[in-house]
Amino acid sequence: MAILANAKFNQYKKLISSLSPSLETSTLKSEKFLVDKDEKKNLEIYYAPFEYINERAKVIIVGITPGLHQMKQSYSTVIRLKDQEIDDEEILHEVKKNSSFEGPMRKNLIAMLDELELHQYLGLNSTSELFSTASHLVQTTSVIKYPVFYKGKNYNGSTPNILRTDLFKKYIVHTFAKEIIRLEDPLIIPLGVNVSKVLTYLTTNDYLNSDSILYGFPHTSGGNGHRHKQFAENKEDMKRKIKLYFE
């Protein structure tokens, strides 16, 4: 079963569907899609249709925020499906499958998860299936649901500090934490140290159970030059944590 908070999607669906498939950045990052901002900190948050929540997911993979590439992928999916006889739930599910960590990030993510042998515990040939035929087993999400831009560029989770920014805290506590609580105690995989800091904050404040969090997993962006070293250093501990979780 999927639970949807799709009021915003209803608000933006026609607007997205009316766009040209070329999806110019200036069109997406415009006032009509702006949902929140902090002018003093040069932060802007724009809408993207990432509301789908897979309530029965066995695994939840958590990033910081969707980037511009994922935003364009999500809009492209809505435009492609606009004339098909499917409901909003199916559209939003397709958006998640097509857009979540799409690109080099997803390739790196799958390689690392397979090396941890997560697919074996899920009865899969590879964790790549989580983004296709086994999407019912996973929830992909971000601590800030919608795309965030700092000084016009993708927000990286570090500057400004995610836990010292009121705009971000609002989304972390009132959107992200509530989303995870609705799931049936999945294995939580935080991508990178900044996501891990957010999860530590939420466990410290009794929003989450730390036993189900796979600490030590790196951010899988190609721009993270330390990801191989961080993964190697934490690999055995993560494998033990996964084994304990599924036993």
User: In this predicted structure, what is the pLDDT of residue 3?
Assistant: 44
The enclosing domain of 126 has a CATH number of 3.40.470
Cβ burial, residue 169 (10 Å; 0-12/13-18/19+):
middle
User: pLDDT digit string (tens) for 122-180?
Assistant: 999 999 999 989 999 999 999 999 999 999 999 999 999 999 999 999 999 999 999 99
Q: How many domains does the chain have?
A: 1
Its pTM stands at: 0.93
| Ranges of H-type helices in 116-192 | 118-121, 166-171, 177-181
Phi, psi of 27 (to 5 degrees): -75, -45
Parent domain of 40: 2-246
